[in-house]
Amino acid sequence: MTKGKSASSEGPRARIGHKLILSFVLLVMVVVGLSGWVLFELTDRSLERQMRDHLVSVATLVSTSLSGNVLRYMRPGREHSDLYRRLMGKLQRAEQGVGARHIFVFDRQYRSLLDTDGLMPIGREYPKRIFHRRELERVWKGYTAHSVLFYDGDVPYMTGYAPIFDGDEVVAAVGVEIGAGFVDSIRVFGRSVLIFAGLSALLTVGVAWGLARTLTRPIQKLVEAAREIGRGNMDQEVATASDDEIGYLGEAMEEMRRKLAARDAQLRLMLGGVAHEIRNPLGSIELYAGLIAGDLPASDERKQHIEKVIEEVRRLNGVTSEFLEFARPAPAQPQPTVLARLVADAAFLLAPEMQAAGISYEEHIAPDLVCYIDAEQMERALVNLMKNAVQAMRDGGHLTVRAADDGAEVVVEVADDGSGMSEAVQARLFEPFFTTKEQGSGLGMALVARAVEENRGRIEIDSRQGEGTVCRLRLPQSKDRVPWAGF
């Protein structure tokens, strides 16, 4: 565990940016897709209608220029007659004039009378598949008709039919096939609609992304500011650049921060005042109790009582000192400091407690490791760490302090094989006044964290319930050599 890390630091589960991009793209795709589709359908239909009208009028025009009467002379074998040539010439001119693929005339038995392709002699029956039987039913009743769009290989075309009358009777029909060139243009049109839709989707993603960034960046900043305040760092002003609702939220947070900081300062002032007021008389009580204890003979039972008083007064003194230190923080004054000396001093202070608890102490620290730290602050921090370790090993154990050179840093480890900590305790470890001990102040680790931060170090905790704890400090290394004579 690293100090300050909390479960909510992974970020939001669903991001505004993703939602924005998704809804924008969906919206644009629906609008562009729908309107493109409608436009496409409308154009397709109107082009097809135009084509049909055109076909039917061409077929009608051709049919009126042929009289049913004359067609009676079209008998098999008459392909070389003048009449046949004249009529063929007429049809071929019409074919060229309107840009048709094929014009053909046939009687009610579907036998060819005239055919601009010149492949069908008079009287030859057309293969059935080229006709649109249902449409021709209409033609035989005297109406015009047209086929649907169909394909000859890759080429799209349509056929228009018109009846040829002899008097009132329909004797033959003319068919006109015209290539449907509009199909190509409608395809191009469809492709353009698709490309347009794709481009607008891309553009929307870009715009939504930009919008999301301008929205989420200030929110991210506010989240960081809120976390800092949550960690108890209330000196950093909550900066807001925008004048919208997010800016408004930022202003509200800044106001909250100022009020919290003011309340914090007030509380510290009060705590410091009370601790100070208590500490002075405590000194006198300890002194006088000591005098009384000195006067009493060892056999007197009251001597034990007064010694108990002295012990409790000392404990109270320690707690008030912690309160004072917490209430009146002093800025670090870092100096090149020999680490081994600090640790030795701390261990010396704790020796009686370690002995009482049956703890074996080990130290692995190179005497030439020098840190750039405030010696007094860091010594108190080490005492706090080692004291916690000792208190976690009520039934004895091993306390080991190690230090190693790690480039620009020195890594100091305080390891115990005591009770260890649950996840819940680790999460609140650095909170001021958090303690699981009956007589704890809960300030030890808060002070350690502050001292480490003040000295530009870092702290990591490795702890398992029932197995022990390792507190790892990373402190800035000093390359200056400091002479130290040893203990």
Q: Which does 68 bind (CB under 5 to 8 A by kind): Mg ion, ligand ADP, none?
A: none
Q: At closest approach, how far in Å is the CB of 287 from ligand ADP?
A: 26
What mask of x and - would describe binding to ligand ADP in positions 355 to 384, judged by CB under 6 A?
-----------------------------x
Please report which helix (H) or strand (E) contains residue 292, including its range: helix 245-295
Reduce the secondary structure of 378-405 to three states and give it as a string. Answer: HHHHHHHHHHHHHHCCCCCEEEEEEEEE
CA distance linking residue 143 with residue 63, whole number of Å: 12
Indicate the residue among 164 and 448 with the shorter CB distance to ligand ADP: 448
Q: Per residue, what are the HEC states of 97-121?
A: HHCCCEEEEEECCCEEEEECCCCCC
By Cβ distance, which residue is nearest to ligand ADP? 444
Number of residues that bind ligand ADP (CB under 6 A): 23
Choice between 147 and 384, CB closer to ligand ADP: 384
User: Residue number with the shortest CB distance to Mg ion?
Assistant: 444
Which 8-state DSSP code applies to residue 8? G
- Asked if residues 132 and 159 have their Cβ atoms less than 8 Å apart, the reply is yes
Sign of CA dihedral 57, 58, 62, 65: positive
Q: Which amino acid is at 79?
A: E
Whole-number Å distance between alpha carbons of 200 and 25: 9
Tell me which residues in 400-459 interact with ligand ADP (CB under 6 A). 416, 418-421, 425, 429, 434-437, 440-446
Candidates 159, 240, 469, 477; binder of ligand ADP (CB under 6 A) is: 469
CA dihedral 268, 274, 279, 281 (to 10 degrees): 170
Backbone angles phi, psi at 3, to 5 degrees: -60, 140
Closer residue to ligand ADP in complex, CB, 147/441: 441
Q: Which is nearer to Mg ion, 339 or 381 (CB)?
A: 381
3-class DSSP assignment, residue 232: coil
Number of Cβ atoms within 10 Å of the Cβ of 122? 18
The residue from 139, 389, 401, 410 that contacts ligand ADP (CB under 6 A) is 389
**Between 220 and 249, how does the x/- string for binding to ligand ADP read (CB under 6 A)?**
------------------------------
* Identity of the residue, 298 or 424, whose beta carbon is nearer to ligand ADP in the bound complex: 424
Q: Toward ligand ADP, which CB reaches closer, 87 or 421?
A: 421
Which residues make up the interface to Mg ion (CB under 5 A)? 388, 444
CB of 214 to ligand ADP, least distance (A): 43
Please give the residue ranges that form the binding site for ligand ADP (CB under 6 A). 384, 388-389, 392, 416, 418-421, 425, 429, 434-437, 440-446, 469
